[in-house]
Chains A and B, each alone.
Chain A
């Protein structure tokens, strides 16, 4: 159960789009369409933003979208807003256990 690989940081200006990658293996990301993305603001609990690669829970803006190709999943945030500045974590089902990525700090310039 190795952690999924995410870039430590990403940034974009308000209104721009930014994409965060999440790379795993055929035993997790590549083997199942069960990738989720969580947003976490400092001192707060995580919030589910995307599940099953592309699905958005009720209340999550459609500026957030997910995709997957092979062993790499991606989260795209379009029309960046100041409130999007946070840490983002991917997670994937791994056939019993789950595994998280190391997290990406998104900065809105």
Chain B
């Protein structure tokens, strides 16, 4: 069974840092693109970042560029999101989502999603 499990969320003061993790299982993690998507409770989905299967290609939303860093450890089947200089506007549930298999040539954000981890930035 394909499974994604996020962790690392919590309460943090503005200006602080947090690292989110996403543990993948049930598929060959090293073959897939991966994404982070966030959602303020009761609001819409906001795409945050993506990373290629070999980590050579990364992209960010303008709102997080320069503050967030996406990375992955294919040996540990884990995706990361390092979040620095956090602001109250970063408060949201953060989902990791599986992208397409690099061999498929397909393009989409997520055919499998985790349950999300809540980040609250507040003083």
Interface hits, A30-69 → B, CB 8 Å? 32, 34, 36, 38, 40, 45-48, 51-52, 55, 57
Within 8 Å by CB of B59, from A36, A51, A96, A103, lies A96
Known A-B contacts A46-B113, A91-B47, A103-B45; A97 and B106 likewise in contact (beta carbons under 8 Å): no
**A45 to B113, Cβ gap below 8 A?**
yes
**A103 to B108, Cβ gap below 8 A?**
no
Within 8 Å by CB of A51, from B60, B62, B108, lies B108
Q: Total A-B residue pairs with C-beta atoms closer than 8 Å?
A: 67
Q: Does B46 contact A (CB under 8 A)?
A: yes
Cα(A14)–Cα(B113), bound, Å: 29
Q: Which residues does chain B contribute within 8 Å of A98, judged by CB atoms?
A: 35, 47, 50, 59, 109
Interface hits, B69-123 → A, CB 8 Å? 95, 97, 106-111, 113-116
Cα(A98)–Cα(B116), bound, Å: 19
**A102 to B44, Cβ gap below 8 A?**
yes
Interface residue total, chain B, C-beta cutoff 8 A: 24
Q: Does B61 contact A (CB under 8 A)?
A: yes
Within 8 Å by CB of B109, from A3, A55, A91, A103, lies A91
Within 8 Å by CB of B110, from A3, A46, A103, lies A46
**A45 to B107, Cβ gap below 8 A?**
no
**B45 to A46, Cβ gap below 8 A?**
yes
What residues of chain B have their CB less than 8 Å away from a CB belonging to chain A?
A: 35, 37, 44-47, 50, 59-63, 95, 97, 106-111, 113-116
> In the complex, given contacts A38-B45, A47-B113, A52-B107, what are 4 additional A-B residue pairs having Cβ atoms less than 8 angstroms apart?
A34-B107, A97-B61, A100-B37, A100-B46
The contact sample of 21 A-B pairs, CB cut-off 8 A, is A1-B63, A34-B107, A38-B45, A38-B109, A46-B95, A46-B113, A48-B111, A51-B111, A91-B45, A91-B109, A97-B62, A98-B35, A98-B47, A98-B109, A100-B37, A100-B44, A100-B45, A100-B47, A102-B44, A103-B44, A103-B45
